[in-house]
Amino acid sequence: MNAKLKETILNPIFKGNPITVLVLGICSSLAVTVTLKGALVMTLSVIVVCGISSLILSLLRNTIPGRVRIIVQLVVVAMMVILVDQVLKSFEATYAIDKQLSVYIGLIITNCIVMGRIEAFALGNKPWPSFLDGVANGAGYGLILIIVAFFRELLGSGTLFGIDILNRFGYVPNNLVILPPFALILLGCIVWVQRSIQKDLQEK
């Protein structure tokens, strides 16, 4: 694998993370991080939507009329989101999760990461790198989601993936952690940690 492709994959995971550096996709990261299971399903959904939409639009990139390109992007992304939602609704194992995530699966379409990467990368690059870029950005988004959800479920419910971890030691679940503002506080802490490691992000 050449260096450029490697950069395409690794950059969104840490150095150019869509949530902590580009600050995209914040609203859903506050909403779906109450449980790890929800965050995991959301992560996989965004990876699939982001990767495949980028792939399809990169394949079409030389045929899309410039004046309606945003509309064409929207149609493709909306199609992928509906497909993911339909599939989640069809399986017993994911039906309850889909109900729990409710509107947020449908709202992946408004997740700035998806359209942002298509506009910035997929329309100007070959299909394979575009696909990897979409997947990597979905994964970078998901990584933050899972970190936040880990702390929120552990401290807010005393469980991980619904399995009791802290409650058996007499831990009283902290309801503040369940509320959305705490996700913002956690996100702030993650940005803080990242900026102290990655000095070039600090404003002079």
Binding site for other proteins (CB under 8 A): 31, 62-68, 71-72, 75-76, 79, 82-83, 86-87, 89-92, 95-96, 99, 102-103, 179-180
What's the min distance (Å) between Cβ of 68 and other proteins? 6
Place of tokens 């900026």: 195
Decide whether 96 or 120 has the Cβ nearer to other proteins: 96
Decide whether 84 or 139 has the Cβ nearer to other proteins: 84
Closest CA to 60 of 9, 130, 133, 135: 130
What's the min distance (Å) between Cβ of 106 and other proteins? 8
Could you tell me where the beta strands, DSSP code E, fall in 24-73?
A: none
Decide whether 114 or 143 has the Cβ nearer to other proteins: 114
What's the min distance (Å) between Cβ of 81 and other proteins? 11
d(CA 130, CA 97): 29
What's the min distance (Å) between Cβ of 66 and other proteins? 6
Is 160 in a helix, a strand, or coil?
strand
Decide whether 92 or 200 has the Cβ nearer to other proteins: 92
Distances (CA, A) of 11 to 46, 58, 65, 133, 139: 17, 20, 30, 9, 11
